[in-house]
Structure 1
Amino acid sequence: MSNRLASATSPYLLQHADNPVDWWEWGPDAFEEARRRNVPVLLSVGYAACHWCHVMAHESFEDEATAAYLNEHFVSIKVDREERPDVDAVYMQATTSMTGQGGWPMTCVLDHDGNPFFAGTYFPDRPRHGQPSFRQVLEALADAWVNRGDEVARVAGTLREHLASQSLVTGGAEQEWPELLERAVITLAREFDQQSAGFGNAPKFPPSMVLEYLLRISGGDGAQTEARRMLDATLEAMARGGIHDQLGGGFARYSVDRDWVVPHFEKMLYDNALLLRVYAEWGTAEGVWAAEGIGAFLLRELRTAEGGFASALDADSEGEEGTYYVWTPGELTAVLGPDDGPWAADLLEVTEAGTFERGTSVLQLRTDPPVEELPRWFDVQRRLREARDLRERPARDDKVVAAWNALAISGLCRAGRLIGLPEYVEAARQAGELLWRVHVVDGRLRRVSRDGVVGAPAGVLEDHGCVAAGFLDLLQVTGDAVWLERAGAVLDVALEHFRADDGGFFDTADDAEALVARPRDPSDNASPSGLSAMVDALSTYAAVTGSGRHRDAAEAALATVAVIAEKAPRFAGWSLAAAVAMTGGPLEVAIVGAESDERDELERLARRHAGAVVVVAGAASDEIPLLAGRGPVDGRPAAYVCRNFVCERPVTAPGDLSAALRR
């Protein structure tokens, strides 16, 4: 028998549609029901690819006795954090404030007005390691609601005031960005893992947005040399470690150890989209190899029938984490034979002891095979991938999230042009058309769709910033002015409905559903913050059009995150990257001429200048201000290098373009 979630569009909610828990979706009806029955609201937040969400579901939400207690004493709401990041943000702030840490599944208990008075994450089905069981927690909360109502009201009121105050925090004093950018490198160097690269200790996440900043600032002497060292070491360590799928391409969410060996096996669209652009722009052979693998993974495993990209692949298959990806020496030999099996085990560090559970190993490629052995490696890789395809595959969360699809659009555009893979650009274009056709309803952006049908949740700031930036990347690689028009429309809505009085941005629109607090978090986390995505899009739009209004908006928003950028640069990577481009720029390059090898070479040179805005078209265009009056020279493709819309003389030779880019 199904519950109310059977009609949901979210794959995560549908995973709970057969639970004996009488789940409600987030909305006023659930709170009205709690008020009518005079019981508290239990809010459970997670996402489809979350391993511990699955564990808690199996242990507690599928248990008849636990469900019966929940149904009697609570109104239970299930939320997909990827579909409703606004709800997730507010209650994650409450969870971290109350417990000092956050994570998913997130469990909060609320009063009838949505004010939290208890919060936590995963709770086991029986007491373990000093942690109470979920049933014990529920019983204590039900007792508090009935017998200690004054205490519940006091805690809820205090939390509401705290959450409201957090949404009013602004950036602080003006900063000199050139000096701040140098200091950020020094701070990052102190937090850099000198042994294994990356930042911090285990668990270790791909620092995608920080890498974007290091890429843009690297080169030259002093702090810039240090930036390049951290960039190179981290990108190589991740590409060669177990966090990188050595057979199928793409990266897992994070490594459970500091050495990038054993991943948490879920694969997220946003991680791979962000890493695709960094690896493609890195400019090394390893970067091309990793970027090609990521792009192939996106098109092969995450692309939907409608031309968008699914959100994630689960960590689990066959009821356990990682079984799709790990191998034993015996399994390698069974697939590859007695010669290639041991050879592959040595190359990929698959041992009898294993690096994962029960003697299995995660595949690593710490050293390349000799050049003469590369054909053998490619054949082994293909055969192992084909054998792995026969295993039970991890589940796919196939909802299309606007922001993450836009990140994929940007990555595919950049990789497609830098590496010379037009199919990546075409896939990006089709995803862009899907976002415009399906996700824009009555001029407003919606966050999710599934099977070509748009969902109800409104787009948040992250969606507007990333989608505008993705459309601008499509403009740059296609020269089609429609993408400039569409990006401008998305930015106009953001400027009208999301802007704060101090020049920053709220994460939700001024006409969105009112929560207990209006979320506003300018720091990057698993994906870029809405603010940093907006700064990127606004500054790019200004570079293409010469719009002072958009440039001013970008600078004002950037000022509000300056304190975070200086004190905690690991959480402001994209804002720092935007600041690099905006300091004296960004560099604007128009490349105009018929499609040819000559034009492609000019374009690749320009795109190697990280942070440059490069628009390529067949001819001059009055619809795109950067291209207005700028055409080929003597019938040859020409490049116009500009700063603040002041352009040098056009050049047609690659050497002359390289010199102009360095000035």
Structure 2
Amino acid sequence: MNRLGSATSPYLLQHASNPVDWWPWCEEAFEEARRRDVPILVSVGYAACHWCHVMAHESFEDEGIARQVNDNFVAIKVDREERPDVDAVYMTATQAMTGQGGWPMTVFATPGGEPFFCGTYFPRPAFSRLLDSVTAAWRDQRDDVIKQGSAVVQAIGGAQLVGGPTAPISATLLDTAAAELAKEHDQGYGGFGGAPKFPPHMNLLFLLRHHQRTGDGEGLEIVRHTAEQMARGGIYDQLAGGFARYAVDNTWTVPHFEKMLYDNALLLRVYTHLWRLTGDPLARRIADETAAFLLRDLATPAGGLASALDADTEGTEGLTYAWTPAQLIAALGEDDGTWAADLFRVTTEGTFEHGSSVLVLARDIDAAADEVVARWRDVRGRLLAVRADRPQPARDDKVVASWNGLAITALAEHAVLLDAPSSRAAAVALAGVLADRHLVDDRLRRVSRDGVVGEPAGVLEDYGAVAEAFCAVHQLTGEGRWLTLAGSLLDVALAHFGTGGGGFYDTADDAERLVTRPADPTDNATPSGLAAVCAGLVAYSALTGRTSYREAADAALETVAPLIGSHPRFAGYSATVAEAALAGPYEIAVATRNPDGDALLAAAHRYALPGTVIVAGAPDTPGVPLLADRPLIGGGSTAYVCRGFVCDRPVTTAAELEARLKA
């Protein structure tokens, strides 16, 4: 047992029995490297990562490799999901040195943490040779190695866009971004670009808002087409719901099987709002199934949603999910098995390994006859029961603040738009977990596990995503507590993460010092910290009337405007927030004696413009600024529609409100 046995991270615990003498990321590890005068090996990965498991099995479980590492290095294992700040610094270095990045990430650094050689996955023979080469270079070419490390640190510090060019957010800018996305759209299979193909959830959210503000039919069709292709593809679990991390092909057929909380949270929002704008039954089904997947498969006993389901089962990708025709017949009988093979496109040739296939939906089941739908549901349930008896993928059950924040916002929207009581209850309960467990001395902690909060401090994306979530729960419940908490988080972000030039760093000014302070404004797997904070700032300002928060959001968005215009695929959430800011956002207060079932409130949710904030409750409800001085006209429910805190005349019927919002 090495030093990882007491870790809270499931990824670190996976390596606790390695013969490699791993250290967690801590100052003591660097002190040990300085004492021994040896370089540091930093290995970064995460629990659901397939190639991380492969490298662990090939190299880190090997006694010979372990001797090489232990004799010549101090080895540090990092969970990128627990320490995104560390990951960001060394990923920037890896991309700068190799032109690409990924996990596992393998970094050799000086005892001061300065990276001088970076890579990703190395097969065992190559890794052994690399260890020898780095050992020799540290012994014989020390000055060159140190100079290399200093140069890399200088380069990655300069790669941040702090103090870069700015531009105003405008309709022209967002129109340009939408047009750029349209150029990159795969008209055959949806999405953007080629294989591997990731669900472009943030770009789809942007295009939905852009369509609603402008009436752009092309953007809406891109979303509809991409959403349908993903939902009918192998990237979507046709039996249990939930999306995999990405597809290895451009047709969405064969997934990389890990299922991440953040992907499914963001896709829940996409399908929910696609249904809101189109009434598409497929969109509603996928939204409902994705919400059910989150609450069934990722809920943890201590509260909060788990981070991921593993890509592997017993070391094999797809073991749980893939089928052959013979397996379908064994599970269902000859008639239903043959029918299912046709419906799910399972052939003797197979689409996956060893002649097996990943289930895809070959026909439009949402438009099928009732008897076909009934048969599909029956077959689906029986196959899922058989699959439940197979070995199951492991679950990374740590609770990440920002990812749970994304899920809370998605569940709150699903609750009000699709009248889903389970999503409503879950959003409120999850918000309570973050407020009661992850807030420590008014500062966010990033992770918890088994009900115990971890040491890593929250980064910018945590503050932004959780603040946006608390704003969503405030709108869902009409309770002032959530708005107060959102404001406190945003105050911390403004006080401790700002660059002084309108932008934000990803780590606080009083956080642990790394070799450089990360400030990445690009969206990657999740919204950038800057985009997440801007979403919280815009919503909070609209809900409270406090303009200083909106001014901070505008200034930050201006720092990423050039990125939105030139590379919108990497700024989808910033563009989404910019759409809300450009639209107003609108503020709708529904004064009502009973929000449940209120027709005005339902119309507000159904027809609201991008980023609109909506609250409902009795006039002058304490802690709800938008309901202050909002009387019931004629004694009945009354809607107040405002933009920039300037209000139109109140309306008292759903038809009037619908017409007002459509206009």
Aligning the two structures, in what range does the TM-score lie when normalised by the shorter sequence? over 0.9
How many angstroms apart in 1 are the aligned matches of 2:308 and 2:599?
33
Q: What runs of 5+ residues in structure 1 fail to find an aligned partner?
A: 127-132
2:335 corresponds in structure 1 to 339
How many angstroms apart in 2 are the aligned matches of 1:348 and 1:633?
56
How many angstroms apart in 2 are the aligned matches of 1:335 and 1:442?
54
How many angstroms apart in 2 are the aligned matches of 1:274 and 1:522?
18
Aligned-partner SS, 1:358: helix
Conservation of the 8 A alpha-carbon contact between 2:595 and 2:616:
no
1:129 corresponds in structure 2 to none
Give 1:251-650 correspondences, 5 Å limit: 251-283=243-275, 284-369=280-365, 370-372=368-370, 373-595=372-594, 598-599=597-598, 602-603=601-602, 605-609=604-608, 610-650=610-650
Give deviations 1:538-564, integer Å, cap 9, x for gaps.
Answer: 000011111111010000000000111
Give 1:108-127 correspondences, 5 Å limit: 108-126=107-125
Give deviations 1:372-415, integer Å, cap 9, x for gaps.
Answer: 31111111111111111111110000000000000000011101
How many angstroms apart in 2 are the aligned matches of 1:10 and 1:90?
20
How many angstroms apart in 1 are the aligned matches of 2:511 and 2:315?
39
Report the CA distance between 1:524 and its aligned residue: 0.4
Aligned-partner SS, 2:4: helix
Larger deviation, residues 583-592 vs 629-638: 629-638
How many angstroms apart in 1 are the aligned matches of 2:214 and 2:463?
37
How many angstroms apart in 1 are the aligned matches of 2:452 and 2:85?
21
Alpha carbon RMSD of aligned pairs, Å? Answer: 1.4
Report the CA distance between 1:637 and its aligned residue: 2.7
How many angstroms apart in 2 are the aligned matches of 1:398 and 1:154?
41
Aligned mate of 2:153, from 160, 179, 182: 160
1:130 corresponds in structure 2 to none
Conservation of the 8 A alpha-carbon contact between 2:185 and 2:222:
yes
Aligned-partner SS, 1:385: helix
How many angstroms apart in 1 are the aligned matches of 2:387 and 2:265?
24
Aligned-partner SS, 1:6: coil
Aligned-partner SS, 1:508: coil
Relative distance call for 1:542 and 1:176 in structure 2 (3 A) is: closer
Conservation of the 8 A alpha-carbon contact between 2:211 and 2:217:
yes
Relative distance call for 1:160 and 1:146 in structure 2 (3 A) is: same
2:52 corresponds in structure 1 to 53
Aligned-partner SS, 1:512: coil
What residue identity is the alignment partner of 1:378? Answer: R
Give deviations 1:123-164, integer Å, cap 9, x for gaps.
Answer: 0013xxxxxx10001100000000001110110110111122
How many angstroms apart in 2 are the aligned matches of 1:343 and 1:654?
46
How many angstroms apart in 2 are the aligned matches of 1:173 and 1:469?
24
What residue identity is the alignment partner of 1:543? Answer: A
| Residues 1:243 and 2:235 aligned together | yes
How many angstroms apart in 2 are the aligned matches of 1:618 and 1:379?
46
How many angstroms apart in 2 are the aligned matches of 1:507 and 1:152?
28
What residue identity is the alignment partner of 2:331? Answer: V
Relative distance call for 1:433 and 1:596 in structure 2 (3 A) is: closer
How many angstroms apart in 2 are the aligned matches of 1:87 and 1:273?
24
Conservation of the 8 A alpha-carbon contact between 1:160 and 1:516:
yes
What residue identity is the alignment partner of 1:532? Answer: A
Report the CA distance between 1:341 and its aligned residue: 1.1
TM-score by structure 1 length? 0.97
| Residues 1:226 and 2:222 aligned together | no
Relative distance call for 1:635 and 1:423 in structure 2 (3 A) is: farther
What residue identity is the alignment partner of 1:503? Answer: G
Relative distance call for 1:597 and 1:429 in structure 2 (3 A) is: closer
Aligned-partner SS, 1:42: strand
Aligned-partner SS, 1:588: strand
Conservation of the 8 A alpha-carbon contact between 2:497 and 2:508:
yes
Conservation of the 8 A alpha-carbon contact between 2:105 and 2:118:
yes
Larger deviation, residues 627-636 vs 293-302: 627-636
How many angstroms apart in 2 are the aligned matches of 1:4 and 1:652?
65
Identity score, percent: 55
How many angstroms apart in 2 are the aligned matches of 1:391 and 1:101?
36
| Residues 1:7 and 2:11 aligned together | no
Report the CA distance between 1:368 and its aligned residue: 2.5
Report the CA distance between 1:168 and its aligned residue: 5.3
Q: What runs of 5+ residues in structure 2 fail to find an aligned partner?
A: none
Relative distance call for 1:382 and 1:608 in structure 2 (3 A) is: farther
How many residue pairs align between the two structures? 655
Relative distance call for 1:176 and 1:453 in structure 2 (3 A) is: closer
What residue identity is the alignment partner of 1:192? Answer: H
Report the CA distance between 1:281 and its aligned residue: 1.0
Aligned-partner SS, 1:107: strand
What residue identity is the alignment partner of 1:280? Answer: T
How many angstroms apart in 2 are the aligned matches of 1:635 and 1:316?
60
| Residues 1:193 and 2:189 aligned together | no
Report the CA distance between 1:371 and its aligned residue: 1.6
TM-score by structure 2 length? 0.97
How many angstroms apart in 2 are the aligned matches of 1:317 and 1:586?
46
How many angstroms apart in 2 are the aligned matches of 1:628 and 1:59?
64
Report the CA distance between 1:601 and its aligned residue: 6.1
Aligned-partner SS, 2:353: coil
Report the CA distance between 1:584 and its aligned residue: 4.0
Report the CA distance between 1:221 and its aligned residue: 6.9
What residue identity is the alignment partner of 1:188? Answer: L
Aligned-partner SS, 2:93: helix
How many angstroms apart in 2 are the aligned matches of 1:351 and 1:530?
44
Aligned mate of 1:149, from 127, 142, 157: 142
Report the CA distance between 1:600 and its aligned residue: 5.3
Report the CA distance between 1:595 and its aligned residue: 3.5
What residue identity is the alignment partner of 2:379? Answer: V
How many angstroms apart in 2 are the aligned matches of 1:616 and 1:596?
6
What residue identity is the alignment partner of 1:297? Answer: F
